[in-house]
A and B are shown apart, each in its own frame.
Chain A
Amino acid sequence: MTGQAPLLVTEGLGRSFGGLSAVSDVGIEVMPGEIRAIIGPNGAGKTTLVGMVCGRIRPSRGRIFFEGRDITRMAPWNRVGSGIVYTFQITSIYRSLSDNDNVVLAAQRRLMRGPASWLRLDEATLGVRVDQALGTVGLAEHRDRRAGELPYGHQRLLEVAMGLALEPRLLILDEPTQGLSEHDIATFCERVREIASRATVMLIEHNMSVVLSLSSRITVMDQGRIIADGDPASIEANPEVQRAYLGGL
């Protein structure tokens, strides 16, 4: 690399649940501006790995650095503050609130600074940011609908909009295209490309055509370990990957 410092580094990262080791000794480096795909069969430890990066899951071993800072013990809400944003594998939105209010909750996180902002925010700025985020995913005309009433594909997009409104530096998308139609997937890929011009993206994905068309680098996991790491072409050609994963499709 051209002397650029990596955005995210993990060292010897591991997590066991009971006696079972879900992730062991994982070291990855993600460069700024990358779209990094993480692939692997079910149970390979992908969600556990990104869970440790965003703070949902506490690592049993190892360390995590974000922009050179050790964040291994940082609280999840503070990680969001420094720009690590996670979108859930199982859609997690506020179902009884409107789309607008869902995104407002994300956007106001960035505007809240100090006790004065607890009671009052710059509503105009808030509105602009919410419009932008909803516009980017194409949900602007559904803003007053209750989130729980949206079709599934739109709920996933809403979740991405919430992620965007948080102004991520590292956006982690956990199986974002799961359950989407072919048409929605195509639109979604375009959105991710747009997002990647502003933020680094980590993408957990099973759909190989999405992975190959989007990612600049791919990390392959199997049974909690990294078995390969490289650009899309070399990953496709890697015999071990084909045996563990691609061949199984």
Chain B
Amino acid sequence: MTGTRMRVLLLHLGVLGALFVAQFFLGEYHHTNVARIMLLATYAVGYNLLLGYTGLMSLGHAMFFAAGMYGTGLGVYYLGLGAFSGFTLGVLAALVLAAVFGLFALRTSGVSFLIVTMMFGQACYLTILYFNEITLGDQGFILSGKLPEALVISGVKYNVALAVFAVCFAVSVVIVRSPIGRILVAIRENEERTRLLGYNTYAYKLLALVVSGGMAGAAGAAYALLFSYVGASFAAILFSIYPLLWTLLGGAGTTLGPLLGTGVMFYLVDVTSGWTSAYLFVVGGTLVLLVLFFPLGIMGTVRARLARWLP
């Protein structure tokens, strides 16, 4: 088992190392893209903890991303917070929202849970629009001029995004390989059995939801800081569907899947939108093929066929 442990450690450190080194080789355009991908992948890593490992499908995760984004954005815009305290406020907002939401929503499961998350997510979106005097609704607001100059430098952007991603990624790997991770998988596989093995499944699901929401919030908070824009579109239902697609594409229930899925999807859209205005058609087609032929996603297929030891 120690051999596996070493391999897992090296692989994940290697991925983070490669992301760090990549910044010295990427051109300006891809440099910004990869920074963006790392933040969106952070969002997907959190989503995957809930969907891939705990077996809970959410269609309202944009509310946690938006809680992070607005917590930070409003804090900086109205209260004049600095980048770091703004970020902290954003993450806290997402954690609190996830905890309160979870206390109610986790009384349901399966399809009812899906619907409750979707309705709550929509309620949050509409709340942002309703208070448009403060949030500036659909149009949103920009933070440039209110943040430290350094955040405009693309090298800083890249490394801040990498740091946020690295922390969440490491947390997810540690959780997945811990006794708690085992219990989360057990809940996904057979919740009643898990309860009668003596685990308070409600508490573990709540924990997974709070961690997942916190990561979405960290992604949203950093996104507001690095790309300097806060808008309601990040709370809309489409933005709840994205992490689901990224996770499924990369492989739900694999530690590397979310990063890979986010990256592949991002560049799929990027490249095809250069060819045709109907790029969403290409994206949709790819997803249909994926679901039909690779239901486990990229990393899920790799694990099943090549490397059973992958976490």
The yes or no answer to A105 lying at the interface (CB within 8 A) is: yes
CA distance A162 to B185 in the complex (A): 16
CB contact list, A115-169 vs B, under 8 A: 117-121, 123, 162, 166
With a CB–CB cut-off of 8 A, which chain B residues contact A80? Answer: 196-198
Q: Interface residue count for A (Cβ, 8 Å)?
A: 33
CB contact list, B172-203 vs A, under 8 A: 174-175, 178-180, 182-183, 185-186, 189-190, 192-201
The yes or no answer to A108 lying at the interface (CB within 8 A) is: yes
Contact B196 A105 (CB under 8 A): no
A76-114 vs B, CB cutoff 8 Å, 1 = contact: the mask equals 111111000010100011111100010011101100100
Chain B interface size range: 20 to 34
Contact B182 A77 (CB under 8 A): no
B178 touches which one: A55, A79, A119, A162 (CB < 8 A)? Answer: A119
With a CB–CB cut-off of 8 A, which chain B residues contact A93? Answer: 190, 193
SS class of chain A's interface: helix, strand, loop or mixed?
A: helix
With a CB–CB cut-off of 8 A, which chain B residues contact A86? Answer: 196
Contact B189 A96 (CB under 8 A): yes
CB of B55 to closest CB in A, whole Å: 12
**Once A and B bind, how many residue pairs between them come within 8 Å at the CB atom?**
69
With a CB–CB cut-off of 8 A, which chain A residues contact B179? Answer: 108, 112, 117-121
CA distance A134 to B201 in the complex (A): 25
CB of A101 to closest CB in B, whole Å: 7
- Residue of A whose beta carbon sits closest to that of B175: A119
Contact B195 A105 (CB under 8 A): no
CA distance A76 to B197 in the complex (A): 9
The yes or no answer to A56 lying at the interface (CB within 8 A) is: yes
Contact B185 A119 (CB under 8 A): no
With a CB–CB cut-off of 8 A, which chain A residues contact B199? Answer: 77, 109
- Residue of A whose beta carbon sits closest to that of B198: A80
Contact A166 B185 (CB under 8 A): no
The yes or no answer to A192 lying at the interface (CB within 8 A) is: no
B193 touches which one: A94, A101, A121 (CB < 8 A)? Answer: A94
The yes or no answer to A75 lying at the interface (CB within 8 A) is: yes
Contact B185 A97 (CB under 8 A): yes
With a CB–CB cut-off of 8 A, which chain B residues contact A118? Answer: 178-180
B195 touches which one: A76, A101, A112, A123 (CB < 8 A)? Answer: A76
With a CB–CB cut-off of 8 A, which chain B residues contact A55? Answer: 196
- Residue of B whose beta carbon sits closest to that of A159: B193
The yes or no answer to A54 lying at the interface (CB within 8 A) is: yes
Which A-B residue pairs are the 3 nearest by beta carbons? A80-B198, A119-B178, A94-B189
Known: A105-B183, A121-B179. 20 other contacts (CB 8 A): A55-B196, A56-B192, A76-B198, A77-B195, A77-B198, A77-B199, A80-B196, A92-B190, A95-B190, A96-B189, A105-B186, A108-B179, A109-B197, A109-B198, A118-B178, A119-B178, A119-B179, A120-B178, A123-B1, A162-B197
Q: Which residues of B contact A (CB under 8 A)?
A: 1, 174-175, 178-180, 182-183, 185-186, 189-190, 192-201
17 A-B contact pairs sorted by A residue (CB < 8 Å): A55-B196, A77-B196, A77-B198, A80-B196, A92-B190, A92-B192, A95-B189, A97-B189, A105-B182, A105-B183, A109-B199, A118-B180, A119-B175, A119-B179, A119-B180, A120-B178, A166-B197
